[in-house]
Amino acid sequence: PADLRDVPLGTVMHAHAFLPPDPLTSSVPVLPLDSGKQDANHNRGAGIFPAENHVLLLEDDPSHCRRLGLTWRLTDIEIRNLAGSLTAVRESTTAGAAPQAAETLTFDAATRVWRGRELLSIEELVEEQIWPSEGKRSMEMTGLLLGITWRPTPDGVFTRFHVSDIWLDEAAMQRAAKQQTEVHRAFIRSRWMPAWIDRVEYGKFGRARVTATLFGGMDETLYTDFRTGDSAMINAVEATLKHTHGAYGPGHMASRGTILSVTRSNTAPPLGSSGVQIQFETDLIIEGIRAGRTVRIRPGGWPLVQVPREEYLNDGVEERFPRPDIFPKY
């Protein structure tokens, strides 16, 4: 798992997306249904603004391949001055599955090559005679994973992709995954776990019992941090998951209380849900913690830190992103 800030700009991503469920509250533009097929720039008949712009799953190519059991097989390479292009086929690790169409991708001297615990360069691949120093050659390298990005090309091909990283073996991929997992854990523990409010049972004088389902897609160890009897804090968030309440951070106005129960669904949860549901009781419920709303939850074992000012809204979205009518009219 990763936050968008962990993904380098230009990375090619695979998306599982849907139409805005409510155009009136959509945080992104609501586009015509055929927007993805309208001409955009030099792409005739292939638009770049699909109407399905609410994303449930967004993953880079290595994550996509690992989830579906795919790897790349390198078949040809053309190289000159440590740069060039390669031809590769993405195929299933399952025996008998038909390979996909071959793809031509570029690489250069900045392309990183990961082998076990080593970080190699294209120059070192050439020195070890794994790749040729110049010319075009047929090759047979299997079990690869590729980091794919976009870069402008001098021959006017706008949709040709570039290889930023090559993982040669499983050990290298596991090492990269472990590092990113630690980054992800630290991020969620400092920004709190997003959750969906299923219901709120109101008591007297601000007391309430909240039932919420934690978002899916997180590292499993984060869910195990939610334990019955532990303290917790819940804060309201905006549709983009920015904290809304608190003048100096999410902990300022968050509702404090105790986790009464933690249950897991016996069936496979839908995409986007963890299937982990918690019950939380507080003696002071704040506005924004209502059924159908999204919140962020911090179990008592996580650090209580302040986030940068641009990551919370305080009095609302217009404070951070004012409308034009704030300017005087002369």
Answer yes or no: do 197 and 314 share one domain: yes
Residue 230 maps to a domain = yes
Instruction: Give domain status of residue 43, yes or no.
Output: no
Note whether 230 and 180 are same-domain residues: no
Residue 315 pLDDT level (bands cut at 50, 70, 90): low
Are residues 209 and 302 part of one domain?
yes
Is residue 244 domain-shared with residue 306, that is, in the same domain? Answer: yes
Distances (CA, A) of 271 to 42, 116, 215: 34, 33, 9
Q: Which of 150, 160, 167 is nearest to 66 (CA)?
A: 167
CATH code: domain of residue 266: 2.40.30.170
pTM score:
0.83
CA distance 146 to 128: 20
| Structure confidence at residue 250 (pLDDT) | 83
User: What confidence score (pLDDT) does residue 307 get?
Assistant: 86
In a domain, 302, yes or no: yes
DSSP reduced 3-state for 127: helix
Tokens, residue 179 = 């590092």
Number of domains in the chain: 2
Q: Is the dihedral of CA 10, 14, 82, 168 positive or negative?
A: positive
Which of 165, 184, 203 is the last residue before a domain boundary?
184
Residue 254 to residues 189, 211, 286, 293, 318, Cα–Cα distance (Å): 15, 16, 7, 15, 21
Cα 150 from Cα 145, distance rounded (Å): 16
H or E element at residue 111: none
In a domain, 266, yes or no: yes
Give the pair of three-digit tokens for residue 39: 């001409």
Asked if 235 and 308 sit in the same domain, the reply is yes
Domain span at residue 249?
A: 192-319
**Of the candidates 136, 154, 184, which is a domain's last residue?**
184
Regarding whether 211 and 161 lie in a shared domain, the answer is no
Sign of CA dihedral 93, 95, 100, 103: positive
Residue 129 has pLDDT above 90, yes or no: yes
Q: What number is the average pLDDT over the span 22-34?
A: 84
In a domain? residue 165: yes
Q: Which token pair is 58?
A: 């967004």
Q: What is the DSSP letter of 237?
A: B
Q: Which long-range contacts (CB under 8 A, 24 or more apart) does 250-256 make?
A: 250/192, 250/296, 250/298, 250/307, 250/312, 251/298, 251/304, 251/306, 253/286, 254/286, 254/298, 255/210, 255/282, 255/284, 255/285, 255/286, 255/289, 256/231, 256/232, 256/282, 256/284
Q: Which residue has the higher pLDDT, 36 or 195?
A: 195
What tens digit of pLDDT does each residue of 57-90 get? 899 999 999 999 999 999 999 999 999 999 999 9
